Structure 1
């Protein structure tokens, strides 16, 4: 575990949302480090609300439905003198749009809006990889159903250019899968933007995350998915050493003059070939794995947000296993588990048995933060009552704190933000 000694002078940190797993884990790290944490989120039941480490929770307008209203709300909070604004999720796109004005009020680590938009867009990221000659699966960018039909080859992955938390992804292995994907893409209006079709490569899925200071990589961590939850998210993960991926990520950050946090997903092909980059997130993704492996990327991000230029962090330890109990239970139920199966999984989680041996809970650390037992217990009881609720529970994470195509276009427009927010 990274050093969690209390800081000499606690910082007042405003976290931009509280319903994602990344936000909940960042709250734990911030609280253990002695910082004063406040959280904004439109949901009254956000994960981060159930934490003794949160000093104050603020109900706010949803980023998706009212980006201008959300920005105005955040700026009113900043008037109360915070040290750091932490863009833990897609709110970073909005903050990058008005970066200079926000940096006049608070510590904030973000790249230019253009760089952020490139990393946030799956199509933009794929083009960047082509430009830099970096490895990715064979990829085509299409703008219509006919183009998709012409370019797809089985098996493939179809992705909307905008989407996080495993939204907008279809695994297409035959004509029936393709027609199902096309129907959903049509309902979503996805062809109003770009759609990617990418060869499905057999191999292990891994994620890597880094913190940059003006284009220079200072901290890095990678982990492998050991067991999946619903939607492809990690239920169990293990830290790994990936110098090749570190070099790839450093190249991307240098090219974009990145400032702040940046993460990538990659697949290590079964044939032992070079890791292939498959996605990018302009933020930290579930930073507790790095913290448990000895690297506090959240703390490093705070220092950069405050204008410091710290030295490079030590390498994280490989072989550190961790898990997310809620993801594990929802994933178990989504795969057709019976109530008895779910009870058995609850027992294995509680006793540290089976795949959870020598593994540390990331998301709801009951011994450190007993209030986190509330959402975990509610999830377990709901699944025991009706295992089919797994998909419904997972979709609650796709809330108003996330962006969609329309909200992105509003943020990109020339007249954003409206005069009322200036």
Structure 2
């Protein structure tokens, strides 16, 4: 088996499209995920292992170790942030009695430089690294108390955003129009029960999940959200494409449609960060394009697949084909792969809603992988999957 996709959270549509994308590039793909996860519905999987319902780190480690032992993948792709943080923990030696040296080496080779793990996952660290590399970022300050948050906001000017350093898909981000909203948001993010919850999670073996992380006050920016989604290999930017938001679920939520194109400023920033982080795999960087015509500002890094990676081949950036070459020991000479044309797309699963269609946009529906559609529309088909207690066929 070439690739193992490890996914925990449902509702992540980037990894669900990867089995078909990688299969069409000639790679074999297996998955480790919950049985009712959308990823498990793909007909392009060569094997599927069920993740146990327990989020105890040892239970997850046992399931991952068995999937790796059974499938012998060359690379493990994390499907979401929870999968990323677990893989990072295993690569650094946690659960070493369960994740042996060979499996740990595969996991480590699938990620980036271990000394830079935090900077690829936590917003505070990403912004600090970007700033040190000369990449344009918004005004921001890491704060630890409500008073410090209010001072930072006062210096920047309202509105501001209060952001938890570990969050995704718009969660953990609150727009604060004034000091009262900021105080309430800080209090909600730092409940008095947080320490008790941390101790309980530790006792249950669930302390791998960073429930309480750094908080940042970030200046509000009048602009358009965008992403630059890339393929990296051992600290080298192999290819990438820019997706500018056309429409969204809600103000801070994921895009429903995007305009795909090239952006050299974002590409340059992504290249610097990929090199500094020593990254391997599929990931994406979020930006804000100011309405005043200024440079795109880096917002955060998402070190996992996103729902536009599979669309690269439509605009001259076949990242799956390039990835297949590297996985099999080959090389790719020349400059990074960037788009040679533009494309407007209504993304899956939003493309299933006719009300969200935009004239002239490609409607991205995976007709060749109908299990994904059935999962979203409620007619779920759960494939027979291989239990972690027995070997895959």
TM-score by length of 2: 0.78
* Residues 271 and 369 of structure 1: CA distance in aligned 2, closer, same or farther (over 3 Å): same
CA distance in 2, matches of 1:308, 1:284: 22
Tell me the residue number matched to 1:193. 213
Quick one: which of 37, 61, 72 aligns to 2:62? 72
Listed as ranges, the gaps of 5+ residues in structure 1 are 1-10, 330-345, 380-422
Q: Secondary structure at the match of 2:241?
A: strand
* Residues 282 and 347 of structure 1: CA distance in aligned 2, closer, same or farther (over 3 Å): closer
Tell me the residue number matched to 2:323. 301
Instruction: State which drifts further: 167-176 or 11-20.
Output: 11-20
Q: Secondary structure at the match of 1:127?
A: helix
CA distance in 1, matches of 2:78, 2:112: 12
1:121 maps onto 2:122 in alignment: yes
Q: Decide which structure has greater helix share.
A: 1
Tell me how far 1:348 sits from its aligned partner. Answer: 4.9
CA contact (8 A) 1:238 1:321 kept: yes
Listed as ranges, the gaps of 5+ residues in structure 2 are 92-100, 195-209, 380-393
Tell me the residue number matched to 1:284. 305
Quick one: which of 178, 181, 203 aligns to 1:177? 181
Count of residue correspondences: 345
Tell me how far 1:192 sits from its aligned partner. Answer: 4.8
Tell me the residue number matched to 1:263. 284
Tell me how far 1:226 sits from its aligned partner. Answer: 0.6
1:317 maps onto 2:308 in alignment: no
Query: Which string of whole-angstrom CA distances, capped at 9 and with x for unpartnered residues, describes residues 253-296 of structure 1?
Result: 22233333342111110010111101112233221232332323
CA contact (8 A) 2:6 2:77 kept: yes
TM-score by length of 1: 0.73
Tell me the residue number matched to 2:293. 272
CA contact (8 A) 1:170 1:181 kept: yes
Instruction: State which drifts further: 149-158 or 28-37.
Output: 28-37
Instruction: State which drifts further: 245-254 or 17-26.
Output: 17-26
* Residues 306 and 160 of structure 1: CA distance in aligned 2, closer, same or farther (over 3 Å): farther
* Residues 258 and 145 of structure 1: CA distance in aligned 2, closer, same or farther (over 3 Å): same
Query: Which string of whole-angstrom CA distances, capped at 9 and with x for unpartnered residues, describes residues 162-196 of structure 1?
Result: 11222211111234532441242123849953101
Tell me the residue number matched to 1:32. 24
1:358 maps onto 2:361 in alignment: yes
CA distance in 2, matches of 1:23, 1:268: 26
1:253 maps onto 2:274 in alignment: yes
CA distance in 1, matches of 2:130, 2:336: 26
- CA-atom RMSD in angstroms: 2.8
CA distance in 1, matches of 2:351, 2:244: 15
After the TM superposition, list the runs of 4 or more consecutive aligned residues in structure 1 that deviate by more than 6 angstroms. none
